[in-house]
Structure 1
Amino acid sequence: MQTPEEYEVSQRIGLLIKGLKHKRGMSREDICRHLGIGMRTLDNYLNGVSSFKLGTLMKFADLCRVKLADILDDTEALSRLYPDNMKDKGSILTLLFGSLATAMLFESITLFLLIMLLCYSHKDKNNQCMVAIFVVIYALSNAFGYWLKYFVFPTAANNFIQNVYAFSINLALSLFLLFLIKYRMKFAVLITRGRSSEVFEKSLVEAPLYFLALILAVVDFCALIENFIRNLDRLGMDEEKVKIFWELTFFYDYYEYLKAPLMLLSIALLYAGVLARKSNMQQPQSA
């Protein structure tokens, strides 16, 4: 059984777990994996059946990016993690984008829509090549997502390492997307072997899509840099000097909210490009 003081700490940790779920999308299974304990053990801790071990408390403090003393004494550093003090995420649309983007299902649906659009534009080699670029990128994104979830994250030492992997891969994919869009015509000629004159035409949506891809790359880059700045103490710098950066979590907190609308807008632009080409191709026939 826990002492009254220990039970108070357990209740505090219960609130922090809700905060981690609300703010970072972490499930109880994720938290247990980071702490190296089972679900039943965590329940026993939170229900006051048994006391938290010191090592477990230190791991939980590390997960929350606070000091152990903050959890024991309920300092101001915990206020940002409590579920009642979470920042308002904005409109319903923003909440929808964020909740969908945090699930891998969102990228799978995005990939499915792109494949459907690829089939729909089969008579238009110009736009089909552009759609194919996004299909390749999101197929790779899905593959890497499952690789991270099932192979990398379970063995990663902490959230910092997990984020380095995730943000680095996403940045690489965004840069690859920029590269493919910029040299889309050369790749299209190579794939079609120059048999289709349509691939030499400038796509109406190429510039807007390149701009969106650039924004995606900027978001990924900022998230990666922010992750390093927030974890300078893990890189050997004095903790007391760099702890002021622990609150630097904008891109970490809103990463999915920033990227999901851009992904959906890209699909909308691709679809608009296909429709515009179809309309232009039908006008001479009707005339």
Structure 2
Amino acid sequence: MNSLKNLILLAIIFGAIGATYLYSDLILLPFFILLLLLMATFNKDEFNFTYLIKVIIAFTIVESLLGLTIFKLITHKPGFIQNSIIFTSHLIIDILIAYFISNRKSICLKYIKNISIETKKEIFEKSLLDAPLLGVYLLFCIVDTLALLENLLRHLDKIGFPAEAASKFSDFQFLYNNYEYIKYALLSLVLLLFISLFIRKATSGSQLLHRR
């Protein structure tokens, strides 16, 4: 429990630093991808470990491409429309990542051809990262959904509500103002979960060598 608390605390710190001093997905997301790639390279024989990394990297790249393309094309749209598109896109991506994590076994067995018996055994083994990663991406989904709802409340007049009634919610912008901090904190937590397991595997391997 203490180790989990420490990971969460570190994630919050790294997320705050990232959002404050490196306020750009073009800096943080490539760095995030690079570290995951390095860990996947050193653990290429760990099928479940590399599967999870590949899923997260693939969708992170999609997210980055959206930021470079579609999100740039909607800058002339009203804020309500921009935020709706952006938060919905993030929500869809996070739902897909959560789906690929929670259905790891069935997806691997259905779509990956020529799987060896050893790999099949590993696929059926419970990965230490499955539950915590799924939990983090469900948090992502909750944050995205709340950000969408907040955006809707802040612009009720755009969907037909009287301006007087809508004005009561015009100051609802907690998630709008803190979305990057929360997002980078959760991304940091994802990275720290992989790093903690990576170190654990490296340490256990080193201990095994010493025993021999």
**Aligned residue pair count:** 195
Among residues 179, 194, 207, which one is paired with 2:115 in the alignment?
194
- The residue number in structure 1 matching 2:5 is none
CA distance, structure 2, for counterparts of residue 112 and residue 133 of structure 1: 14
Q: For 2:74, what is the secondary structure of its paired residue?
A: helix
Kindly indicate whether the alpha-carbon contact (under 8 Å) linking 2:80 and 2:151 is maintained by their aligned counterparts in 1.
yes
**Any idea what the Cα deviations from partners look like across 1:170-228, whole Å, max 9, x if unmatched?**
00011111101101122233326432132221111211111111111100110011101
Query: Which residue matches 1:135?
Result: 57
Shift in alpha-carbon separation, 1:205–1:272, aligned structure 2, 3 A: same
Equivalent in the alignment of 1:97: 18
User: Matched residues in 2 for 1:282 and 1:199: separation?
Assistant: 24
Query: What TM-score do the two structures reach when normalised by structure 2?
Result: 0.82
The aligned residue for residue 96 of structure 2 is 176
1:206-258: CA deviations, max 9, x gaps?
11111111111100110011101110001111101110100100100100111
> Which of residues 168, 171, 175 in structure 2 aligns to 1:244?
168
Correspondences of 1:1-287 after superposition (within 5 Å)? 95-99=16-20, 102-104=23-25, 105-154=27-76, 156=77, 158-189=78-109, 190-191=111-112, 193-195=114-116, 196=119, 197-280=121-204, 286-287=211-212
Match of 2:3 in 1: none
Work out whether residues 140 and 183 of structure 2, in 8 Å CA contact, stay in contact via their aligned partners in 1. Answer: yes
| AA aligned opposite 1:106 | L
How far is the alpha carbon of 1:99 from its aligned partner?
2.6
Structure 2 match to 1:56? none
- Shift in Å, 1:125: 1.3
Unaligned ranges ≥5, structure 2: 1-11
Q: Give RMSD over aligned pairs.
A: 2.3
* Percentage of identical aligned residues: 24
Amino acid at match of 2:175: F
Cα distance, 1:176–1:284 mapped onto 2, change above 3 Å: same
Question: 1:102: how far off?
Answer: 3.6
After superposition, give the CA deviation of every residue in 1:140-173 in whole Å (9 maximum; x if it has no partner).
111111123332324x2x1111001100000001
Q: Which TM-score applies when normalising by structure 1?
A: 0.62
Post-superposition shift, 1:120? 2.2
Residues in 1 aligned to 2:71 and 2:194: alpha-carbon distance in whole angstroms: 29
* Conservation of the 8 A alpha-carbon contact between 2:13 and 2:185: no
Contact 1:223 1:252 (C-alpha < 8 Å) held by counterparts? yes
* SS of structure 2 residue aligned to 1:221: helix
* 2:39 aligned partner, one-letter code: L
**CA distance in 1 between partners of 2:179 and 2:93 (Å):** 15
Helix, strand or coil for the counterpart of 1:247?
coil
C-alpha distance in 1, partners of 2:21/2:202? 31
SS in 2 for 1:268: helix
CA contact (8 A) 2:48 2:122 kept: yes
Task: Verify the 8 A CA contact 1:203 1:273 in the aligned structure 2.
Answer: no
The 2-side partners of 1:177 and 1:122 are apart by 20
Q: Secondary structure at the match of 1:153?
A: coil
